[in-house]
Amino acid sequence: MKDFMLLFRGGDGRKLDSPEEVQAHMQKWMVWIKDLNEKGHQAGGHPLLDNGKTISGTKNIVSDGPFTEGKEIVGGYLLIKADSLEQATELSKGCPTLDFEDGIVEIRPIQNNGM
C-alpha cells in the first residue's frame, strides 16, 4: 500500500449551532476513522490548533497566522494507506468535513524515499 496525506479545509464542526450538533459531528468523525482503521487504511493524524506562525519569502518574514477567517486554512490532517490515488480518493469521500458546503479534502501522495 502507498501512503497518502488528507488535508482538511473548511467544514469547521466547532461552529455548529448547538453542543448536540457538535457532538453528532464528532461522532461521525470517530465512526469514519474507526472504519478506516479497521480496514487497515488509517495511519495517523490530528486536528490542528487555530494559532500558529507563517514564514514567507527569502527574508524569512514571520507573521502571526494562519487566521481562522481564511477559507484555505488547513484544520487537520490524516495519514492513510491505500493501493492508489483513486482508492484514497474514494476513501476520502466519507470524510465528515464534506458534510459542509465549504468542506474540502485534499488528497496528496507521500513520496517514499526508501527511508
CB count in 10 Å sphere of residue 106 = 12
115 in any annotated domain: no
Q: What is the pLDDT of residues 84-114, one digit of tens each?
A: 999 999 999 999 999 988 899 999 999 987 6
> What pTM does this model have?
0.82
52 in any annotated domain: yes
Higher pLDDT: 68 or 110? It is 110
Tell whether the model's pLDDT for residue 35 goes beyond 60: yes
Tell whether the model's pLDDT for residue 30 goes beyond 80: yes
Phi/psi of residue 5, nearest 5 degrees:
-110, 130
Tell whether the model's pLDDT for residue 69 goes beyond 60: no
Q: For the chain, what is the domain count?
A: 1
59 in any annotated domain: yes
What is the model's pLDDT at position 1? Answer: 93
**Cβ-contact 9, 104 below 8 angstroms:** yes
Full domain range(s) for residue 35: 2-109
20 in any annotated domain: yes
Tell whether the model's pLDDT for residue 68 goes beyond 60: no
Higher pLDDT: 85 or 10? It is 85
